[in-house]
Amino acid sequence: MTKFSDLNLDPKVLKAITEAGYESPTPIQAGAIPPALEGKDVLGIAQTGTGKTASFTLPMITLLAKGRARARMPRSLVLCPTRELAAQVAENFDTYTKHLKLTKALLIGGVSFKEQEALIDRGVDVLIATPGRLLDHFERGKLLLTGVQIMVVDEADRMLDMGFIPDIERIFSLTPFTRQTLFFSATMAPEIERITNTFLSAPTRVEVARQATTSENIEQGVLLFKASRKDREGSEKRRVLRDLIEAEGEGCRNAIIFCNRKTDVDITAKSLKKYGYDAAPIHGDLDQSQRMRTLDGFREGTLRFLVASDVAARGLDIPNVSHVFNFDVPGHAEDYVHRIGRTGRAGRKGKAVMICVPRDEKNLADIEALVKQEIPRLETPGRPATSAAEDAPEAAKEDKPKRSRSRSRKSADAQPKDAPQEKFQDKVQEKSEAPVQAEHSKQERGRRRGRDNDNKVVGMGDHMPSFIALSFEERRAG
């Protein structure tokens, strides 16, 4: 079996790896590190949770160990699609550079420009950034990319999916043509193939798993759910989510719950908290400091349920996630792979459960076609016999605004308490018979209309009604 000591890494990097508790590289690391150390372009494809981050951080640190950065001219650049992923990459560099004197800067939104500019002015060996904030600094004249020797695009497919193609192309044009480029991703769409043919020079392709495969350590299941009424779908779906959580029992130590929309993230988190579950939301509209606090709490175990949009689906390394619940079926099949990849990491067992409403069945079929397997169907968890009556008030509370009492309700409430029981029964009977009587009246009116319509005007020929002719005769007589 290959060990890190066999990969020609810097001795100080090997020492940091050993102290971190690692001995043997994952397949993607074993395949990507050697050509990266040789200065070749690398196109790495592997399912999420297989250690892609270390596949480029370790060779980068080794290559940058010698040399020194100049002010405003970073020696290497790592582009990430989200702030959370960028922060995680920065943590990896801190772990593996503890015995080296390499500097880094993290350029993400939600953080003061002045603090980031101060780091850039001193000169950094590694610049980790999201595309938008990187270009903001460049346009302010605070950053030059002409000294970049190594460029990494992490989660490349996600970068392209999020509409970063123009930004990526511009950033590439600002870097030297002689740079070394590393692309890493879990999926590789045909469009990405075209992009890599443009930006990578004779890359070494490292593919350790079939594209868009899911880990064998993850037990998958989908619950086909149909609401009793369209206006109650949200509340009933949240009830099903709680039932699924309860059905897992103590085995559900913690979980990430994915929603497609940010509004649903907030509503679902609020609903779970209302029913006594320790939950918090995370999505792109929240303040960066709040997002980091929420993530830290989830990592440390002080938060049990993380309700997230796809901002948390890519690349976040939280190794002890026992469950992933897809409250919504993702609109893009590739996102399913990334979402469930948050569990079953580092050889651990995990479970992924998805709730599918009828309108999402096409997306479910696309997912099954992508992963080339049928996801097992789950039965609805059992509920007490009284649950249907209990859920009706819940739906009214969650989804409907409060209504003022109508006059009829007030008149009913005004009924004296000591009124004879028979009168109430008579009223109930009258109410129950009213729809029937109304229907009979409706049918009778219909029959009368039918008789009246026998003389319906069809045209002004032979079908002219007699009363019109009579009126003409009367006029002549007058």
Q: Give me the pLDDT at residue 412, please.
A: 43
- The Cα-based distances of 82 to 92, 139, 292, 377 in angstroms read 16, 20, 12, 33
Higher pLDDT, 311 or 402: 311
CA distance 18 to 12: 10
Q: Are strands 104-107 and 180-185 parallel, antiparallel or unpaired?
A: unpaired
In CATH, which of 3.40.50.970, 3.30.2310.20, 3.40.50.300, 3.40.50.1360 is domain 218-384? Answer: 3.40.50.300
Q: Give me the pLDDT at residue 383, please.
A: 53
- Its pTM surpasses 0.75: no
Which residues are within 8 A (CB) of 475 and not within 5 positions of it... i.e. 6 or more apart? Answer: none
pLDDT band at residue 264 using 50, 70 and 90 as cut-offs:
very high
Give me the mean pLDDT over the 144-169 stretch: 87
Domains 4-207 and 218-384 share a fold: yes
Give me the mean pLDDT over the 47-53 stretch: 77
Give me the mean pLDDT over the 312-324 stretch: 76
pLDDT band at residue 91 using 50, 70 and 90 as cut-offs:
very high
Least confident range of 160-169, 303-312, 358-367:
160-169
Residue 340 above 80 pLDDT?
A: yes
Q: Does domain 4-207 have CATH number 3.40.50.300?
A: yes
Question: Where in the chain are the domains?
Answer: 4-207, 218-384
Q: Give me the pLDDT at residue 470, please.
A: 58
Q: Give me the pLDDT at residue 357, please.
A: 96
